[in-house]
Amino acid sequence: MSANETKLAAYQSEYIDLAYQWDILRFGGPFTLKSGRKSPYFFNAGLFNSGLKLQKMAECYANRIVDSGVEFDVLFGPAYKGIPLVAATAMALAKDHGRDVQFCFNRKEAKTHGEGGNLVGAPLKGRVLVVDDVITAGTAINEAVDIINAQPNAKLEAVVIALDRQERASEDSPESAIMQVEKRLGVKVYSVVTLDQIIQYMERTRGDDARKDIDSMVAYRERYGTRS
């Protein structure tokens, strides 16, 4: 096992396998990313878009949260993608781990009638764990932090996301967007899986049958990967 490899938990292997089966994890490309880079693979977490798919995704998030050991008081899902994800993850934590945790999400537009405001669910207070799909430029997490910081008794504790692509945020930076967020906010970002783990899983399960895809991911990682 190389220095970059980490042992894959059973839920991580299942996560990658299902993502591949359901065409959420796609190979072949090139796929043009927001950065303009041409990637040989594409991971679209938005395609966890059925009851079973969302259930499986949430189970993996819940397992990653428990594995991380992070302590928190409330889950927060940023609108819009984080809304179904935070609710499903809370359900998975209760069902599979016996942890009945509170969750909260925001509206993009504040409600002007009834209870008003832009937060829905449990009170946003104490140690907050943000549940979201990806971190690219960090814009979405910045918005979530602003919401959390606006609450007098809330503090961002950590973030959990679907995938760490492990690539530099820009050509001028040795760090990924995730590393930059961690440094700027002083919190840990946990990912369900990383690119290294996808490569490891593909090598182990498909080997020479997927040699072209594996080699293209390795080459992409060598060209754009973080330097630490």
The set of residues, in sequence order, having a beta carbon less than 8 Å from that of 175 and lying 6+ positions away, is 168, 169, 183, 226, 228
Note the CATH number of domain 10-224. Answer: 3.40.50.2020
Q: Is the pLDDT of residue 116 over 60?
A: no
pLDDT band at 228 (very low <50, low <70, confident <90, very high): low
The verdict on whether 97 is a catalytic residue reads no
- Tell me what pLDDT residue 1 has: 40
Q: For residues 92 and 98, what is the distance between their CA atoms, to the nearest angstrom?
A: 9
Q: For residues 129 and 74, what is the distance between their CA atoms, to the nearest angstrom?
A: 6
pLDDT band at 227 (very low <50, low <70, confident <90, very high): low
**Which residue in the list 56, 108, 113, 212 is annotated as catalytic?**
113
Q: What are the phi and psi torsion angles at 102 (to 5°)?
A: -85, 155
* Domain ranges within the chain, ordered by starting residue: 10-224
pLDDT band at 3 (very low <50, low <70, confident <90, very high): very low
Q: Which residues of 180-218 are buried (b: 16+ CB within 10 A; e: fewer)?
A: bbbeebebebbbbbbbbbbbbbbbeeeeeebeebbebbb
Query: What global pTM score does this model have?
Result: 0.91
Q: Is the pLDDT of residue 4 over 70?
A: no
Chain-centroid distance, C-alpha 108: 21
**Which residue in the list 38, 111, 183, 212 is annotated as catalytic?**
111
Q: For residues 217 and 51, what is the distance between their CA atoms, to the nearest angstrom?
A: 30
Do 83 and 103 contact (CB within 8 A), yes or no?
Answer: no
pLDDT in tens, 22-73: 999 999 889 998 888 999 999 998 899 999 999 999 999 999 999 999 999 9
pLDDT in tens, 118-167: 899 999 999 999 999 888 766 678 889 999 999 999 999 999 999 999 99
- Tell me what pLDDT residue 137 has: 62
Chain-centroid distance, C-alpha 141: 11
- The three-class DSSP label of residue 205 is helix
Helix or strand (DSSP H, E) at 199: helix 195-205
Q: What is the mean pLDDT of residues 89-111?
A: 92
Q: Which of 197, 154, 169 is nearest to 37 (CA)?
A: 169
In whole angstroms, how far apart are CA 169 and each of 81, 131, 160, 224? 22, 21, 18, 9
The verdict on whether 155 is a catalytic residue reads no
